């Protein structure tokens, strides 16, 4: 899997209301044209975590990759 560009990731999450669950992030990213690589990376985030900010999402994605 290719590493997700954090700037690209935030583009797909633009306008997201936080806090957000993993499922909220995936749905929002798909609606904004995220590719399979971005979606599969988001799928690997923890199910039980609420993400408070875009920075928290970027940090979690960095830990997954």
The 10s digit of each residue's pLDDT in 12-27 is: 999 999 999 999 999 9
* CA torsion, ordered 61, 33, 39, 6, to nearest 10 deg: -10
d(CA 51, CA 58): 10
Q: What is the mean pLDDT of the chain?
A: 94
User: Is the pLDDT confidence value at 10 over 90?
Assistant: yes
Query: Can you say whether the dihedral through the CA atoms of 13, 17, 21, 26 is positive or negative?
Result: negative
Cα radius of gyration rounded to whole Å, the chain: 10
User: Is the pLDDT confidence value at 65 over 80?
Assistant: no
Q: Where exactly are the structural domains of the chain?
A: 6-64
The pTM score is 0.92
The 10s digit of each residue's pLDDT in 39-60 is: 999 999 999 999 999 999 999 9
């Amino acid at each position: 899997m290719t590493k997700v560009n954090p700037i690209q990731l935030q583009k797909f999450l633009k306008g997201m209301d936080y806090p957000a669950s993993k499922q909220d992030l995936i749905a929002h990213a798909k609606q904004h044209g995220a590719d399979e690589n971005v979606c599969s990376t988001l799928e690997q985030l923890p199910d039980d975590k609420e993400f408070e900010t875009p920075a928290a999402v970027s940090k979690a994605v960095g830990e997954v990759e």
